Amino acid sequence: MSKAYNVMAATCPSRTVLHRIGARWTVFVVNALADGPRRFTELKGHIRGITPKALTETLRSLEADGLISRHDHDENPPRVEYALTPLGRSLLIPLRAVRLWAEEHVPDIEAARSRQPVP
Amino acid sequence: MSKAYNVMAATCPSRTVLHRIGARWTVFVVNALADGPRRFTELKGHIRGITPKALTETLRSLEADGLISRHDHDENPPRVEYALTPLGRSLLIPLRAVRLWAEEHVPDIEAARSRQPVP
DNA sequence: CGGTATCCCGTCCGATACTG
DNA sequence: CAGTATCGGACGGGATACCG
The CATH number for B64's domain is 1.10.10.10
Round to a whole number and report the distance in Å from the CA of B52 to the C1' of C12: 15
A4 in a structural domain: no
DSSP symbol at A15:
H
**Could you list the residue range(s) of the whole structural domain that residue A55 is in?**
14-115
Confidence of residue B88 (pLDDT cuts 50, 70, 90): very high
Residues 35-94 (A) with a CB less than 8 A from some CB of B: 46-49, 64-67, 87, 90-91, 93-94
**pLDDT beyond 80 at B97:** yes
Is B70 part of a structural domain of the chain? yes
| Integer Cα distance of B91 and A65 in angstroms | 26
Is there a domain that residue A20 lies in?
yes
User: Within a domain: residue A45?
Assistant: yes
Tens of pLDDT along B10-68? 667 778 888 888 888 999 999 999 999 999 999 999 999 999 999 999 999 999 999 99
Q: Is the pTM of this model over 0.75?
A: yes
Q: With a cut of 80, say whether residue B102 has pLDDT above it.
A: yes
Nearest CB neighbour to A14, from listed B9, B48, B103: B103
How many domains does chain A fold into? 1
Please list every residue in chain A whose beta carbon sits closer than 8 Å to the beta carbon of residue B28. 7-8
Cα(B114)–Cα(B119) distance, integer angstroms? 12
In a domain, A77, yes or no: yes
The residues in B 4-23 lying below 8 A from A, measured between CB atoms, are 4-10, 13-14, 17-23
Kindly state whether residue B5 falls inside one of the protein's structural domains.
no
d(CA B75, CA A118): 29
Rounded to whole angstroms, the maximal C-alpha distance in chain B is 57
Task: Give the integer Cα–Cα distance in Å for A31 and A92.
Answer: 7
Cα separations in angstroms, B37 against A45, B46, B94, B102? 44, 13, 20, 25
User: CA B24 to CA A98: how far, in whole Å?
Assistant: 16
Cα–Cα dist A33/B99, whole Å: 22
Position A8 in a domain: no
B2 located within any domain:
no
pLDDT recorded at residue A84: 98
Please tell me the distance in Å from B13's CA to the nearest CA on chain A.
7
